């Protein structure tokens, strides 16, 4: 979660990356009495509750990890360009742009969710290679 100010309003940004345990459910309300959960999907620029055929399709896709979220064991962290990463972070106004040059690539990649794996065997995800490999 990241608090931000957008157009003068305070918002809380939540990241829900895809992964092997998808799909994810969210509570239908914020009150402590709310006990109901549901799946949500993106339709265009909107987030809507998945119902009927959309929910069925969502559940059928649960057995596969999307291509961009898969680690690529034929690549190394050296295949990620720090220059491209820093340029992107600056372009989008990320507060990570400043420390990005000094962080270890594994740490930077974990914060951006473009690498994965245990400390001794960190590999880039395909999304990292698609965006940040020259």
Asked if residue 28 lies in contact with residue 38, where contact means CB atoms within 8 angstroms, the answer is yes
25 and 77 fall within a common domain: no
Nearest alpha-carbon partner for 103 in 80, 126, 120: 80
72 and 57 fall within a common domain: no
80 and 108 fall within a common domain: yes
Please report the pLDDT score of residue 25 as a whole number: 84
Residue 24 CA from chain centroid, whole number: 13
Three-state DSSP at 90 gives helix
Please report the pLDDT score of residue 48 as a whole number: 92
Asked if residue 131 lies in contact with residue 83, where contact means CB atoms within 8 angstroms, the answer is no
Torsion sign across C-alpha atoms 13, 81, 19, 110: negative
Whole-angstrom distance, CA of residue 2 vs CA of residue 54? 29
83 and 112 fall within a common domain: yes
Please report the pLDDT score of residue 75 as a whole number: 96
Question: In a structure prediction context, what are the per-residue pLDDT tens digits for the chain, which is 134 residues long?
Answer: 778 898 999 998 877 666 666 788 888 988 889 889 999 988 999 989 999 999 998 888 776 778 898 899 999 999 999 999 999 999 999 999 999 999 999 999 999 999 998 888 899 999 999 999 99
Domain-ending residue, one of 22, 41, 62: 62
Tell me the pTM: 0.61
Q: Copy the structure tokens of residue 99.
A: 């420390």
Domain of residue 85 covers 68-132
Please report the pLDDT score of residue 99 as a whole number: 95
Whole-angstrom distance, CA of residue 31 vs CA of residue 28? 9
């Amino acid at each position: 979660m990241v608090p931000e100010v957008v157009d003068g309003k305070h918002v809380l940004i939540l990241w829900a990356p895809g992964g092997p345990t998808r799909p994810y459910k969210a509570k239908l309300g914020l009150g402590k009495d709310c006990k109901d959960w549901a799946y949500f999907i993106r339709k265009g620029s909107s987030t809507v509750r998945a119902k009927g055929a959309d929910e069925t399709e969502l559940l059928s896709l649960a057995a596969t990890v999307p291509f961009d979220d898969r680690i690529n064991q034929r690549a190394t962290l050296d295949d990620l360009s720090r220059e491209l990463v820093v340029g992107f972070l600056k372009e989008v106004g990320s507060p990570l742009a400043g420390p990005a040059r000094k962080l270890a690539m594994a740490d930077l990649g974990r914060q951006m969710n473009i690498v994965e794996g245990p400390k001794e065997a960190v590999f880039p995800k395909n999304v990292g290679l698609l965006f940040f490999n020259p």
